[in-house]
Structure 1
Amino acid sequence: MAETTVDEVLAELAALADPKVRRVNEKHGDDHGVNLTQLRALAKRLKTQQDLSRRLWQTGDSAARLLALLICRPKAFDRDELDAMLRAARTPKVHDWLVNYVVKKHPQAEDLRLAWTADPDPVVASAGWALTTERVAKQPAGLDLAALLDVIEEELKDAPDRLQWAMNHCLAQIGIEHAEHRARAIDIGERLQVLADYPTPPNCTSPFAPVWITEMVRRQDTK
């Protein structure tokens, strides 16, 4: 399918769109109606096509952008291009996939992490915090975890939703991965009570940091 056109892909995405899926997604701030398993199957069939990926992104359609992120070559984008893409990715799923599937694999991810974390746009800043959480878990050397906890303690309570969620994830990850900071991370969570009342389905772990930290550490200890 090397010669697949944007119009052909958009037509296929339109055929896959399901109003029920769209209604569910809209509750989470997303605006596409394509089942993600079907989207991944389409991406697998198309394989990596950087030029097509860029053209799909330019359509502005959320399903097309999700597909674009699955068939791109992350290192083919330059830093400024990724920055512009993030600022254009206003729906949560497109934003998350861009950060997780593309930016995290990019050689300038650290530069973007630092720039985005300090950005006045809370949605952009949330991407910086997501990259920080990745480093907390996988490459903590060089991070000042105590300073990160200082910022979280000061700003988490009043942060806008998307930024609050990303900062809370970082708080939990610090507590889970770094025993020397665990007591303080749990204490911050207990005092701030962010997401304490978040509705959590059965058999799922609450995003409330003290519960999240305690449960994940328990699982690690029982392995």
Structure 2
Amino acid sequence: MELSLRAKDIIAQINEGTTKLGDLRKVANDIKKDHELALELWSTGQFLPRQLAILIMDSKQLSQQLIDKLDCNIEQHDENERLKLADWLMANQLSKDKRTISLMETWEDSQSSLQRRIFWYYQARLRWVGQTPPPNSEELLFKIETRIGKEVPEVQWAMNFTAAQIGVYEEKYRSRCIALGERTGLYKDEIVAKNCTPSYLPKFIAIQVNKLNR
């Protein structure tokens, strides 16, 4: 795709070494919603222009077909960028519109690991944003218990995170979520930076519940 002068000017503002997420949001706020420009930025294949593109997309134009195309493009990035783009798309676009939320809810068994990750990460997000947990925790927890050991790492993390949020916000499932972490041993030996919460379920749940009870 031949880039417009506007797209080129915007890309020139973005510096891989110094641009932060807050800077991208300021640029996006100035642009507002511009789906055509978003697709131009996306076509560059570059990480920061794609992050900015996600912020200015029109969620009403995000069909399953287009999402599948974005998914394939995201797969071309390294692991760190790939997961950031997928999570960024979920948080800034897919979770903002009832129609795209309905799409996400069909991705539990998607052939795309990124779409399965988004399904589970969205379920977790429904809980940690502070609202009343949806009534599907029992069903989700059963599926996590039976499937998490067979999933690819990027989906495992999101399933584990969902179990963590269920354990934190729903006391009746807490011991079950802790037992899941003890059984799987996922992230037990993970080393995290200071002030970061480890992903190992027993530790995560204990730390977050303690924060809620302060």
Name the TM tier (shorter chain). 0.7 to 0.9
State the 1:71 CA deviation. Answer: 2.2
Shift of 1:139: 5.8
Once residues 166 and 6 of structure 1 are traced to their aligned partners in structure 2, the CA distance between those partners, rounded to angstroms, is: 34
Report what 1:7 is aligned to: 8
Q: Does 1:84 align with 2:73?
A: no
**2:47 pairs with 45, 62, 71, which one?**
62
The residue number in structure 1 matching 2:198 is: 206
Contact 1:48 1:72 (8 Å CA) reproduced:
yes
State percent identity of aligned pairs: 26
CA distance in 2 between partners of 1:164 and 1:64 (Å): 28
**Aligned with residue 167 of structure 1, among 143, 156, 159:** 159
Alignment correspondent of 1:17 = 16
Cα gap change, 1:45 to 1:136, in 2 (>3 Å): closer
Q: In the TM superposition, what whole-angstrom CA distance separates every residue of 1:156-183 from its partner, at most 9, and x where no partner exists?
A: 2342221111111001011011111111
Evaluate the alpha carbon distance shift between residue 102 and residue 124 of structure 1 in structure 2; reply closer, same or farther with a 3 A threshold: same
Whether 1:141 aligns to 2:134 is: yes
The reply on whether 1:216 has 2:201 as its aligned counterpart is no
Q: Which amino acid aligns with 2:208?
A: M
Does 1:104 pair with 2:89?
A: no
Give the distance between the partners of 1:114 and 1:44, measured in 2 at CA. 29
Match of 1:176 in 2: 168
Change (3 A) 1:112 1:139: farther
- Shifted more, 81-90 versus 152-161: the winner is 81-90
- RMSD over aligned CA atoms reads 2.2
User: In 2 relative to 1, CA 61–195 (structure 1 residues): closer, same or farther, beyond 3 Å?
Assistant: same
Unaligned runs of at least 5 residues, structure 1? 22-33
1:136: Cα distance to partner? 4.2
Change in CA separation of 1:114 and 1:45 when aligned onto 2, cut-off 3 Å: closer
Pick one of 86, 89, 101 that aligns with 1:95: 86
Q: Is the 8 A contact 1:75 1:105 kept in 2?
A: no
| Mapped partners of 1:141, 1:38: distance in 2 | 34
1:37-84 superposed Cα distances (whole Å, 9 cap, x missing partner) = 332333233333232112212332221110111223333433443343
Contact 1:87 1:124 in 2 (8 A): no
Partner of 1:124: 115
Is 1:113–1:132's contact at 8 Å kept on the other side of the alignment? Answer: no
TM-score in terms of structure 1 length: 0.80
Count of matched residue positions in the alignment of Structure 1 and Structure 2: 203
Cα distance in 2 for partners of 1:174, 1:109 equals 23
1:79, 1:112 within 8 Å by CA — same for their partners in 2?
Answer: yes
Residue 216 of structure 1 deviates from its aligned partner by 1.0
- Aligned equivalents of 2:7, 2:108: Cα separation in 1: 34
With normalisation by structure 2, the TM-score equals 0.83
Cα distance in structure 1, aligned partners of 2:28 and 2:71? 21
